[in-house]
């Protein structure tokens, strides 16, 4: 695997979607390539950051009861 | 033999029991899609009513959450996308390049202090704003994957498109989002990067500033379409939000081999 490949698969690697072979290739490359190893670390940190900051909002309280009422009133 | 009323009541209760746990997730995604809480609430309510109406069509044992999201996505398209969005060609190669530039320059800084959050001083609002600069189709996949935790297959089901498309959009959507965040970070001084992209003069940019068409480099003299370049720079006035619609011709699907 070359550095360009790493860039293309890094998201899928972080998603645990790489097959065994590709995974091995990637891990081998990361062991030897400091640049790419850093890259993967950056992506991971950015992802964690994004997930935390776009944390799910809770539905407003009244919404649940509105839905409940609407469901009760509607024909099945 | 149950009366029709009693049956309805029971089915209603079954449905609520199964469906209400997802109200927060649905609301969150609805809010990111509509960008205001009133529309989000309406969208979620409508989704529940539709789902209840078609509950008997739901195949037991299949993914209920994905089914609900699919209904919501279709409801959104039918009711809330009436506004004509600006078709916009995304020059993704430009995005990749500028992303690479910033990463190369800043990788050591970006991974220093793994204990502290990256860009910890950046406000939630900025992250949301960054998300909103994504074309709708990219925004959806990023939301479904990174906030709701759906698999590629589930996302493909929800959006009614091939898994390859999901992967391609995820790749681009995430990269665009990260790139925007890096631009904000640069603007606010969290990371180094020299002049913000939009302040580079076109003359200085030379080749790297010119739009690539069909993979071939264009002459430096050819000025990139002004509006598009500014849009992509995303350091524009803080109150403006761009709603991008993917121009179909711009989406050359990339293939990702994961095996």
pLDDT tens digits, A13-43: 999 989 999 999 999 999 999 989 998 999 9
pTM: 0.77
Q: What is the ipTM of this complex?
A: 0.90
Within a domain: B67: yes
Instruction: Give the count of alpha carbons within 13 A of A68, CB side only.
Output: 9
Q: What is the pLDDT of residue B236?
A: 35
Using an 8 Å CB-CB cutoff, list chain B residues near A16: none
The confidence score (pLDDT) of residue B80 equals: 73
Contact (Cβ atoms closer than 8 angstroms) between residue A42 and residue B103: yes
b/e per residue A29-46 (b: at least 16 CB within 10 A): bbeebeebbbbbebbbbb
Q: What is the CA radius of gyration of chain B?
A: 22
Chain A CB contacts of B185 below 8 Å: none
The answer to whether residue B226 scores a pLDDT higher than 70 is no
Residue B122 domain flag: yes
pLDDT at A30: 95
Whether B114 and B8 map to the same domain: the answer is no
- Collapsing DSSP to helix, strand or coil, B213 comes out as strand
Domain span holding position B71: 4-80
For residue B62, give the DSSP letter.
Answer: S
- The reply to whether B57 and B96 lie within a common domain is no
Tell me the C-alpha distance between B157 and B126, whole Å.
Answer: 30
How far does Cα B223 stand from its chain's mean position? Answer: 29
Q: How many structural domains compose chain B?
A: 2
Picking from B19, B50, B80, the residue at the C-terminal end of a domain is: B80
**Band of the pLDDT at B104, cuts 50, 70, 90?**
confident
Report whether pLDDT(B211) > 50.
Answer: no
**Minimum distance, in Å, between the CA of residue A61 and any CA atom of chain B:** 10
User: What confidence score (pLDDT) does residue B28 get?
Assistant: 94
Residue contact A57–B24, C-beta within 8 A: yes
Question: Which domain-ending residue is among B48, B80, B112?
Answer: B80
Q: Do A63 and B114 touch (CB under 8 A)?
A: no
* Structural domain ending residue among the three candidates B80, B111, B131: B80
CA quadruple B117, B119, B122, B127: dihedral, nearest 10: -90
Locate B66 and state its tokens.
């994905």
Backbone torsions φ then ψ of B151, nearest 5 degrees: -80, 170
- Tell which residue, B228, B230, B125, B142, has the closest CA to residue B178: B142
Look at residue B112 and tell me if it is in a domain: yes
What pLDDT, on the 0 to 100 scale, is given for residue B254? 73
Q: Is B111 on the interface with A (CB under 8 A)?
A: yes
**Pairing between β-strand B86-88 and β-strand B244-246 as defined by DSSP bridges:** parallel
DSSP SS3 for A22? helix
Task: Give dist(CA B80, CA B75) in Å, integer.
Answer: 8
Name chain B contacts of A9, Cβ cutoff 8 Å: 256, 258
* Residue B167: closest CA among B73, B90, B258: B258
Is the pLDDT assigned to residue B96 strictly greater than 90? no
Q: Contact, B150 vs B158, CB < 8 A?
A: yes
Query: CB of A10 within 8 A of CB of A43?
Result: yes
Residues B19-54 have pLDDT tens digits of 999 999 999 999 999 888 999 999 999 999 999 999
- For residue B222, pLDDT over 70 is answered with no
Mark whether B64 and B151 lie in a shared domain: no
User: Do residues B54 and B75 share a domain?
Assistant: yes
Whether residue B141 is contained in a domain is answered as yes
- Indicate whether B213 belongs to any domain: no
Burial of B238 (0-12, 13-18, 19+ CB in 10 A): exposed
pLDDT at B116: 76
- Rg of chain A over all Cα atoms, to the nearest angstrom: 22
Q: What is the pLDDT of residues B152-202, one digit of tens each?
A: 999 999 999 999 999 999 999 999 999 999 989 888 888 876 444 443 333
Lowest-confidence pick of A51-65, B70-84, B85-99, B140-154: B85-99
User: What does the alpha-carbon distance between residue B179 and residue B186 come to, in Å, rounded to a whole number?
Assistant: 10
CATH of the domain at B68: 1.10.1740.10
Alpha-carbon distance B182 to B233, whole Å? Answer: 11
Nearest CA in chain A to B41: A63
Give yes or no for a contact between B75 and B47, defined as CB atoms under 8 angstroms apart: yes
* Residue A31 Cα, gap to closest chain B Cα (Å): 17
Other C-beta atoms lying within 10 Å of the C-beta of residue B30: 29
Yes or no: say if B99 and B178 are a contact pair by the CB < 8 Å rule.
yes
B3 or B102, greater pLDDT: B102
Residue B29 token pair: 């995604």
Nearest CA in chain B to A58: B24
How far out from the chain centre does Cα A14 lie? 7
Shared domain for B128 and B245, answered yes or no, is yes
In angstroms, the CA B175 to CA B156 distance is 19
């Amino acid at each position: 695997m070359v550095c360009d490949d790493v860039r293309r698969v890094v998201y899928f690697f972080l998603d645990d979607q790489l097959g065994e072979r590709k995974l091995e290739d990637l891990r081998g490359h990361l062991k030897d390539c400091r640049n790419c190893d850093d890259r993967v670390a950056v992506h991971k940190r950015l992802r964690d950051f994004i997930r935390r900051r776009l944390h799910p909002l809770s539905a407003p309280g009244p919404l649940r009861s509105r839905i409940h009422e609407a469901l009760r009133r509607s024909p099945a | 033999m149950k009366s029709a009323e009693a049956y309805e009541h029971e089915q209603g209760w079954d449905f609520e029991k199964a469906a209400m746990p997802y109200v927060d997730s649905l609301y969150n995604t609805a809010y990111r899609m509509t960008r205001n809480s009133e529309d989000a609430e309406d969208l979620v309510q409508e989704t529940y009513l539709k789902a209840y109406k078609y509950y008997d069509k739901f195949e037991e044992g299949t993914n209920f959450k994905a089914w609900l999201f699919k209904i919501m996505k279709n409801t959104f398209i039918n009711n809330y996308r009436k506004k004509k969005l600006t078709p916009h060609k995304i020059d993704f190669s430009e995005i990749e390049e500028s992303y690479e530039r910033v990463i190369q320059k800043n990788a050591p800084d970006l991974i220093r202090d793994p204990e502290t959050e990256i860009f910890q001083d950046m406000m939630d609002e900025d992250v949301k704003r960054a998300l909103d600069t994504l074309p709708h189709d990219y925004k959806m996949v990023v939301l479904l994957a990174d906030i709701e935790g759906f698999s590629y297959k589930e996302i493909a089901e929800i959006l009614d498109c091939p898994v390859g498309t999901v992967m391609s959009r995820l790749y681009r959507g995430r990269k665009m989002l990260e790139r925007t965040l890096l631009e904000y970070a640069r603007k606010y001084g969290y990371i180094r990067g020299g002049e913000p992209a939009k302040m580079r003069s076109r003359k200085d940019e030379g080749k790297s500033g010119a739009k690539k068409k069909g993979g071939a480099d264009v002459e430096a003299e050819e000025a990139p379409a002004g509006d598009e370049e500014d849009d992509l720079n995303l350091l524009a006035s803080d109150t403006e939000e761009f709603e991008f619609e993917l121009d179909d011709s711009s989406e050359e699907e990339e293939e990702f081999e994961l095996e």
